[in-house]
């Protein structure tokens, strides 16, 4: 049940998965996405077991997943809703089970998925569920029988379609995926979910790669768990408007938006209390980019935001990436220079208990790996 390279049917290391998904995700079109994952499967084989368990695992990670309802699968022709869902999904997971090729609907889905992969760089992950990858590739066993049945009553147009089905089946076996035979499925589902999560995270980080002026330190997170629940935003931007709103933050927001990454950005309004809408956005965001600029700590709003963000990281395992924008990370961590001046000023006006929490949040974020922008 290990992550396997179906072409060679040997166990493959996770690095092959990473390189495959990285190359695919980096070429995905700049467009909006309604789903993170599209599941293609044969209902009678896996709907109420493996596919259902996988769907629940993805949903618990906050990964938006399209799984069709049985009502959609009426008639011979694939529903328009499914074709649209494929186009609007970042990743397609194809569960190739014993009777997958008996369904014209599944085969049409697969042709669409492989075509979209070719023209749009969509990431495709095959799962060989109790089938031999070589039988899928060579169309033997149940796959050979199914295609032979389709060919019996096919006219010229039908034979042309079957040819496309055969090609799509061959091509999907050239992609590294998982081969499930015997044993518990929970470990495999966990591995699949983790691979998808990492791929989505890489796509987010790819946006940052080409931003100029960055002396990029290794971005990582020490979080060991992930918040369970739906996400309204993939990224929450915390920043001091007067420092970066019209330059760096604006450019970063545009880059994320072009990648179809749903991002929360709010210019701080007058007043010192964080608005309920902002608190809710923090709760409903998958990860955070904290842009620590010269005057960030002068804003009680920013520091209040940061306190909530770091609490979310500790309690829910969310990912936080700091961007040190023309400031020294050690000044953030130790509250030196403008950060020290700002905190000293706050301590003259607000209770020490609050400023202690502000200092603790700055020390914590200052110790995280992220990006350091100096010149350029």
Q: Which residues are catalytic?
A: 109
Answer whether 298's CB lies under 8 Å from 240's CB.
Answer: yes
> In a 3-state reduction of DSSP, which class is residue 45?
helix
Name 66's bridge partners.
Answer: 38
Sequence-distant (6+) residues with CB within 8 A of 303 are 296, 297, 346, 358, 361, 362
Residue 166: left if φ>0, alpha if ψ -120 to 50, beta else—which one? alpha
CA separation for the pair 184, 129 (Å, rounded) = 12
- Burial track 172-193 (b if 16+ CB lie within 10 A, e otherwise): bbebbbbbbeeeebeebbebbb
Q: Which residue do the tokens 């990029």 mark?
A: 216
Euclidean distance between the first and final Cα of the chain, in Å?
A: 49
To the nearest 10°, report the CA torsion of 16, 214, 241, 359. 80
Q: In sequence order, what are the residues at sequence separation of 6 or more whose Cβ sits closer than 8 angstroms to the Cβ of residue 87?
A: 116
Which of 89, 111, 84, 116 minimizes the C-alpha distance to 100? 111
Helix (H, G, I), strand (E, B) or coil at 2: coil
Task: Return the closest-CA partner of residue 219 out of 315, 289, 168.
Answer: 289
Cβ-proximal residues to 342 (8 Å cutoff; 6+ apart), any chain:
295, 297, 298
3 state SS of 1: coil
**How many CA atoms are closer than 13 Å to the CA of 232, on its beta-carbon side?**
11
């Amino acid at each position: 049940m290990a992550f396997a390279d179906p072409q060679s049917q040997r166990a493959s290391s996770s690095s092959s998965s990473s390189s495959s998904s990285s190359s695919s995700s980096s070429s995905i079109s700049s467009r909006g996405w309604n789903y993170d994952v599209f599941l293609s499967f044969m209902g009678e084989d896996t709907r109420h077991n493996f596919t259902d368990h996988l769907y629940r695992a993805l949903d618990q990670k906050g990964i938006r997943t399209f799984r069709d309802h049985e009502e959609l699968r009426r008639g011979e022709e694939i529903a328009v809703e499914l074709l649209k869902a494929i186009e609007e999904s970042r990743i397609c997971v194809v569960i190739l089970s014993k009777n997958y090729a008996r369904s014209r609907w599944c085969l049409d889905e697969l042709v669409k998925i492989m075509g979209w992969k070719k023209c749009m760089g969509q990431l495709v992950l095959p799962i060989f569920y109790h089938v031999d990858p070589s039988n899928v590739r060579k169309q033997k066993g149940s796959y050979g029988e199914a295609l032979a049945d389709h060919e019996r009553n096919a006219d010229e147009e039908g034979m042309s379609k079957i040819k496309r089905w055969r090609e799509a089946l061959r091509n999907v076996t050239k992609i590294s995926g998982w081969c499930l035979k015997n044993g518990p499925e929970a470990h495999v589902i966990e591995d699949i979910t983790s691979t998808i999560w990492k791929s989505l995270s890489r796509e987010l980080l790819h946006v940052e790669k080409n931003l100029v002026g960055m002396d990029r330190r290794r971005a990582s997170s020490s979080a060991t768990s992930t918040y369970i629940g739906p996400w309204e935003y993939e990224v929450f931007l915390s920043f001091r408007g007067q420092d970066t709103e019209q330059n760096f933050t604006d450019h970063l927001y545009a880059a994320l938006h072009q990648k179809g990454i749903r991002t929360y950005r709010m210019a701080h309004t007058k007043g010192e209390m964080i608005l309920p809408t902002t608190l809710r956005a923090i709760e409903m965001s998958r990860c955070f980019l904290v842009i620590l600029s010269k005057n960030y700590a002068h804003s009680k709003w920013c520091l209040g935001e940061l306190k909530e963000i770091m609490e979310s990281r500790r309690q829910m395992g969310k990912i936080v990436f700091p961007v040190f924008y023309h400031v020294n990370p050690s000044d953030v961590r130790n509250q030196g220079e403008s950060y020290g001046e700002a905190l000293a000023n706050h301590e003259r006006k607000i209770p020490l208990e609050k400023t202690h929490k502000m200092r603790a949040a700055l020390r914590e974020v200052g110790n995280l790996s992220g990006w350091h922008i100096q010149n350029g």
